[in-house]
Amino acid sequence: MGSSHVYTNNFDGRVDQTSDGLLRLSSTTKTEDHIGSSSGEVLVHKDGHPYQQYYQQYYPSANASMNNIVVGGDQSSVDPHRANNNYSEKKNKGEKKMKKPKYAFQTRSQVDVLDDGYRWRKYGQKAVKANKFPRSYYRCTYQGCNVKKQVQRLNKDEGIVVTTYEGMHTHPIDKPSDNFEHILSQMQIYTHI
């Protein structure tokens, strides 16, 4: 596997991958599919039937290129706490709001959910005001790992997907690595400080 990942960050703000598709989603399927061309069944954000089940599947978004990296939240340390069971425990009273940093980045892709190597379970979907497309909420399905992420497609540009990560994974990936996750982890080094 391409152990050496070389991404070039243009001033444009986009990241291109070299060698074998870095942003390739899965080790199988084809790589480099033309985006913009209707090649397959992709998003069907139709009115009424926003998303179906294209989650957990690997979509050929090899052409995905990063556009922008937005870092939100303060530097108030990431709190990997909350690693309890469920939500049974209320908020920590007196703990105030623990603002958790979020790592958001935009991606140009037709795929809503990028495969970052983790297993996610969707737990909600809400329509945001002033936005045509709903926002999906996912949570990492690992015992004790409460990493959340939300995916939203821009109303303006359907080609842009904003993925926001919240928290950090503290467990190994469950799938063949060498994906977005690698890039992500790299980015976090810089962003979470």
Partner DNA sequence: CGATTTTGACCGGCGC
Partner DNA sequence: GCGCCGGTCAAAATCG
Q: Which residue ranges make up the site for DNA (CB under 7 A)?
A: 49-53, 55-56, 86-87, 97, 119-126, 128-130, 135, 137, 141, 148, 150
**Min separation Cβ 23 and DNA, Å:** 21
Question: What are the beta bridge partners of residue 16?
Answer: 8
- State the Cα–Cα distance between residues 150 and 40, nearest whole angstrom: 24
Cα angle 117-119-122, degrees, rounded to a multiple of 5: 130
Any bridge partners for residue 140, and if so which?
A: 120
CA atoms within 13 A on the CB side of 11: 0
Nearer to DNA, 63 or 166 (CB): 166
Count of alpha carbons within 13 angstroms of residue 70, beta-carbon side:
11
Sheet harboring 148-153: ordered strands across?
7-9, 15-17, 65-72, 102-108, 160-166, 148-153, 134-140, 120-127
Closest CB 65 distance from DNA, rounded Å? 25
CB nearer to DNA: give 29 or 141.
141
Q: Which is nearer to DNA, 93 or 189 (CB)?
A: 93
Which residues partner with 73 through β-bridges? none
Q: Least separation, in Å, of the C-beta of 83 and DNA?
A: 13
Q: Tell me whether residue 56 or residue 77 sits nearer to DNA (CB atom).
A: 56
CB of 174 to DNA, least distance (A): 9
Q: Is 186 helix (H, G, I), strand (E, B) or coil?
A: helix
Nearer to DNA, 124 or 144 (CB): 124
Nearer to DNA, 96 or 189 (CB): 96
Query: Comparing C-alpha atoms, which of 59, 71, 63 is closest to residue 14?
Result: 63
Residue 51 CB, shortest distance to DNA, in Å, is 5
Smallest distance, Å, CB 170 to DNA? 18
